């Protein structure tokens, strides 16, 4: 099997899976319980929070565990806007966000908030200045994706937060870091970012666990009510085994970052160089995109058709965001690309498990598909 859809989800690392099972079996007590087994669980919770904080470059007190990146995005966006509704009426957002950001913003717009969307250029790039220049005295929130999940385009979020705060210190800056965390170096404590969302299943931890960085003294009104866990930001009994798994995965990713980056860059460069020499293929990812993601169009062959052809060769890629369930890419549409190019787009995404053999299998499958599949005019 040649799995090249790691932006959708990564394979759980076996060491992480073993650690999760151990915690499930041996540390099953509720971390909020006051007897010894509960205190032992609380210790694992504290240790895990410290490991995730290290991988984020912040203090443990600024890390909150959630169910996923989507939940982290929702908590930050809805909570920040609610806390600023007395003086603000404006939100700024990039025009190629993940549905977990796009849809809460659309809901807020329906409630009367003024929303300014900033679209990328034809290369998929947005500059921090494009967002910051739009900030006014009534801007409650600027939200942006660090690494675009479909093209790998990178936004300098550290510079963005600095520019936004210079315009309005009260404006909340949220970053969807799901595709950027532990791929790009960042020390959140050295930035003016207010919140940063991450997800476990993008870094070889399980689905169903995420985290949210909230800068100390950041003002949000949490959208949930409950027992007060996670200091009320995300109430509900903590999923201790998966939290421990997230912490181990983050620790391993942080430790192995140089080797992993070199391996992924090699796979990306090999694929990109070969695609550039194939007639009928157009690259959609910018040259300086994060190497984990490479988006391209096989002109004249619909994405779904090529995707299923490659599936027969046990080569697995995607046509865009997994959360869009095969719908046409709103990222490529926001870039202003023609419909034929959008309809024929494929996304390849790498992880630490990706190999040169995976790339070669994909290239062979593409060549065979381009030679045999009927083209759409």
Domain ranges of the chain: 2-10+257-372, 14-255
Q: Record the pTM.
A: 0.95
**Residues that are catalytic:** 323
Options 3.20.20.70, 3.40.50.2020, 3.90.1150.10, 3.30.830.10; CATH of 2-10+257-372: 3.90.1150.10
CB 178 within 8 A of CB 198: yes
Secondary structure (H, E, C), 172-218:
EEEEECCCCECCECCCHHHCCCCEEEEEHHHCCCCCCCEEEEECCCC
- Locate 227 and state its tokens: 């027992």
CATH code: domain 14-255 is: 3.40.640.10
Q: Tens-digit pLDDT profile for the chain (377 aa)?
A: 999 999 999 999 999 999 999 999 999 988 988 988 889 999 999 999 999 999 999 999 999 999 999 999 999 999 999 999 999 999 999 999 999 999 999 999 999 999 999 999 999 999 999 999 999 999 999 999 999 999 999 999 999 999 999 999 999 999 999 999 999 999 999 999 999 999 999 999 999 999 999 999 999 999 998 988 999 999 999 999 999 999 999 999 999 999 999 999 999 999 999 999 999 999 999 999 999 999 999 999 999 999 999 999 999 999 865 554 556 788 999 999 999 999 999 999 999 999 999 999 999 999 999 999 866 65
Question: What residue ranges in the chain does DSSP mark as E strands?
Answer: 2-3, 63-66, 90-94, 114-118, 139-145, 172-176, 195-199, 210-214, 281-283, 293-298, 315-316, 345-349
Q: What is the DSSP letter of 11?
A: P
What pairs with residue 197 in β-bridges?
176, 212
């Amino acid at each position: 099997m040649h799995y090249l859809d790691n932006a959708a989800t990564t394979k759980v690392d076996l060491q992480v899976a073993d650690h999760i099972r151990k915690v499930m079996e041996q540390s099953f007590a509720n971390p909020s319980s006051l007897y010894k087994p509960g205190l032992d669980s609380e210790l694992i919770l504290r240790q895990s929070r410290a490991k995730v904080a290290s991988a984020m470059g912040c203090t443990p007190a600024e890390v909150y565990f959630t169910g996923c990146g989507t939940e982290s995005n929702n908590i930050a966006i809805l909570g920040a806007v609610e806390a600023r509704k007395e003086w603000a009426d404006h939100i700024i957002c990039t025009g190629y966000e993940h549905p977990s950001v796009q849809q809460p913003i659309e809901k807020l717009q329906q409630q009367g908030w003024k929303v300014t969307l900033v679209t990328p250029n034809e290369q998929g790039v947005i500059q921090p200045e494009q967002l910051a220049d739009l900030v006014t005295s009534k801007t409650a929130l600027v939200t942006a994706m660090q690494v675009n999940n479909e093209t790998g385009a990178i936004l300098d979020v550290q510079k963005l937060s600095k520019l936004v705060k210079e315009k309005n210190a009260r404006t909340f800056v949220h970053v969807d870091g799901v595709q950027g965390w532990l791929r790009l170096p960042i020390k959140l404590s050295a930035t003016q970012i207010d919140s940063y969302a991450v997800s476990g299943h993008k870094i070889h931890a399980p689905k169903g666990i995420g985290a949210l960085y909230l800068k100390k003294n950041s003002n949000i009104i949490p959208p949930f009510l409950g027992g007060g866990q996670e200091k009320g930001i995300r109430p509900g009994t903590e999923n201790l085994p998966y939290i421990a798994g997230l912490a181990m995965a983050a620790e391993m990713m942080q430790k192995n970052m140089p080797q992993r980056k070199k391996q992924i860059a090699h796979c990306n460069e090999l694929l990109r160089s070969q695609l550039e020499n194939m007639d009928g293929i157009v690259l959609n990812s910018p040259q300086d995109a994060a190497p984990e993601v490479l988006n391209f169009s096989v002109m004249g062959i619909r994405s779904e058709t090529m995707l299923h052809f490659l599936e027969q060769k046990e080569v697995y890629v995607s046509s865009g965001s997994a959360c869009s369930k095969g719908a046409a890419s709103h990222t490529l549409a926001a870039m202003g690309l023609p419909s034929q190019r959008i309809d024929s787009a494929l996304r390849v995404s790498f992880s630490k498990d990706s190999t040169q053999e995976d790339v070669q299998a994909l290239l062979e499958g593409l060549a065979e598909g381009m030679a045999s599949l009927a083209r759409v005019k």
